[in-house]
Amino acid sequence: MRIGRTGLTAAGAALLLLAGCSSGATTSAAPATSTAPPTTSAPPTTPSTSPTPTVPDQLPGMPPVVDARDVYGSAGAGMLSPAAAAAVPMVYVPHNSGEVWEIDPTTFQVVRRFPAGQEVQHVVPSWDMTTLYATDDVGNTITPIDPLTGDPGARIPVVDPYNMYSTPDGSSAISVAEARRELVFYDPHTWAVQTTLSVPDCAGIDHADFTPDGRTAVFSCEFAGRVAVVDVPSHTLLRMIDMPTRNTRMGPQDVKLAPDGSRFYVADSDQGGLWVLDGAATTVIGQIPTGPGAHGLYLSRDATELYVTNRHGNSVSVLDADTGAPITTWPIAAPSSPDMGGVTADGSELWLSGRYDDEVYVMSTVDGHLVARIPVGKGPHGLCVWPQPGRYSLGHTGITR
């Protein structure tokens, strides 16, 4: 049975909090860093009884947040935009071998395979949800995919697109150029370069998410044990924040904003859990253990639960999305390597790539049981379940709001 927020204990039982001073913002070449010493208690979480709050001073051109208590409130079950509703339901599985495989989510059968470069990392929805892009960081291209048909188009030159995001106003597509330690901002219509932001102290720049107002982004630095905080309107670096333990082999991974905007969760593979940043992305305020190889972060369709894939732990941890309090753990029989994916539009299933085991896992979000285990090709990675509810996409494998 699905456990909601009302059945949870206090967040303080799950969250080892850390408090400290903000680093302060800077746009200089040598940004300030911030770390946080331990404290003993969690900030209180109280339900709001006031009129529905909105998010002030949003990025111009960004669709307004309807309810600041749930920034994902427009991405609930079945809340498909016209563009998404017209798409053929499909699961797109990119492979490090260079292919994209398409799986019918009803029959669990592979229905198509096509080449999309030399080493395909992610399948990323465009901001307006009309196109999906397979990113090839080795070949420096993205391959557009028509979600109405599943057909691939001609490849587009893009610098080192290990990962890709969209600014919340849709004005830029961001190539996360991991090998170059850069963020390359593109016009998403012409694919002309707008800005290149060098982030030399962010080795392994990788995953990201944005504040509710869309003005600030947090990017993980996998091989530097820190995150980079970026000002979205100016495309500039604000600050670097070191994690209390700087893991530099397989450190910070996926980033996810809590539904109420109060904190960012940052998965850390070597730490075996999550770091927690304050909602303004100025300091680390906590740590949550989950399991070995904590990697991908996904929300339930109603945004009450956060799913954490433990890539080296053969499991998915389920947490309260706002507080981080543990709910349960869903095991996946070994050998398994749950990596990245997404939740179906109706919220009933969680699909994940098995990065090191050449398979895809389909899990029930009701009780976590394994619905299907689908053999695929070599090195499946940033799997995309399509369509997704929401008004617009922030990229990655389908962050929608």
Instruction: Please write the tens of the pLDDT for every residue from 245-286.
Output: 999 999 999 999 999 999 999 999 999 999 999 999 999 999
Let me know if residue 88 belongs to a domain.
yes
Residue 76's pLDDT band (boundaries 50, 70, 90)? very high
Let me know if residue 47 belongs to a domain.
no
Let me know if residue 13 belongs to a domain.
no
Let me know if residue 299 belongs to a domain.
yes
Q: Dihedral sign for Cα 71, 76, 82, 87, please.
A: positive
- Res 31 pLDDT > 60: no
- Res 25 pLDDT > 90: no
Let me know if residue 304 belongs to a domain.
yes
Let me know if residue 287 belongs to a domain.
yes
| SS3 call for 389 | coil
Let me know if residue 312 belongs to a domain.
yes
**Boundaries of domain holding 260:** 72-400
Tokens 């389908």 belong to 398
Q: What is the CATH number for 315?
A: 2.130.10.10
- Res 349 pLDDT > 70: yes
The answer to whether the CB of 305 falls within 8 A of the CB of 237 is: no
Separation of alpha carbons 36 and 175, rounded Å: 30
Distance of CA 118 to CAs 134, 143, 254, Å? 11, 11, 24
The answer to whether the CB of 137 falls within 8 A of the CB of 158 is: no
Let me know if residue 230 belongs to a domain.
yes
How many domains is the chain partitioned into structurally? Answer: 1
Predicted local distance difference test score (pLDDT) of residue 49: 56
Predicted local distance difference test score (pLDDT) of residue 50: 59
- Res 36 pLDDT > 70: no
Distance of CA 215 to CAs 132, 212, 231, 236, Å? 24, 8, 6, 11
Q: Does 76 or 13 have the greater pLDDT score?
A: 76
Other CB atoms within a 10 A radius of the CB of residue 400 amount to 22
- Res 8 pLDDT > 80: no
